[in-house]
Every structure is written in structure tokens, then in C-alpha cells.
Structure 1
Amino acid sequence: MAAEASFPLTSLSEAQRTQALERFARLRPALEGQMSQTQLAREQQIPLSTIQRWIKQHREKGLAVNV
């Protein structure tokens, strides 16, 4: 099932696009199964609940939600 963004990345400001892409880059190892969410949270020093929320939002709504 493909995620559908609620709005296209092109509708975001440059700063918002940068933030979305940076967050995706941080989540990518967990999204691709290269590391667990717990490992990612420790490595990135981000609460596990935040990682879980970001991943859930990304899977439901796509990259543009990462703003």
C-alpha cells in the first residue's frame, strides 16, 4: 500500500522541504529495516515514542508529513 501525501512537497517552503528530507534521512535506517526503532532512537538521541510517531505518520501520509 503506497502512502499518499496530504500535500505535495512542492507546496512546502524551502525550509519545510529541508526539514522533511532531514527527518526522512534520520528515519531511513528504521524504515528500510537496517536498524530497529529502538536502536535508531538511541543513536539519534530522540525518544522512542517520537521515532514511532514519525514512522507511523510517514507510512500513513508520506514524506510531506515530516514537517
Structure 2
Amino acid sequence: MFGAFLIFIKSFICHFFIYFIWNIWLIYLILQKFKKINERRKIVCDNQKITKNNKEIFKEEGKQKRERA
């Protein structure tokens, strides 16, 4: 009876640690995925800012050309 109890405790501890490590690994992977998504969003936002700035620069250049002509 006591041996069965020890086997139960041992298997419980082993399973607990296996699932604990597995859950930490999954959380790590999920966080990495969110990090990549945020990096992509940042790149898209930066590109939008650049295109907006370029449009403003072209508008300014167009105004200067019109003033010269």
C-alpha cells in the first residue's frame, strides 16, 4: 500500500513538472508570436509615417515650383 502511494506521488510530481515546463514553453512561444506581430505593426506604422512625410515633402516642392513659375 505504501509502495503504491510512493509511486503515485512520484508520478504526480513527474507529471506536474512535465506539464509545468510544457506550459512555460507554450507561453514563451505565444509571447514570441505577439512580439513578431507588434514588430510588423511597428514597421507598417513607420512605413505609413514615411509615405505621409514624403507626400508632404512633394506638396512643398510642388508649391515651390509653382511659386517659381
What is the TM-score of this pair, normalised by structure 2?
0.28
Higher helix fraction (1 or 2) = 2
| Bigger radius of gyration | 2
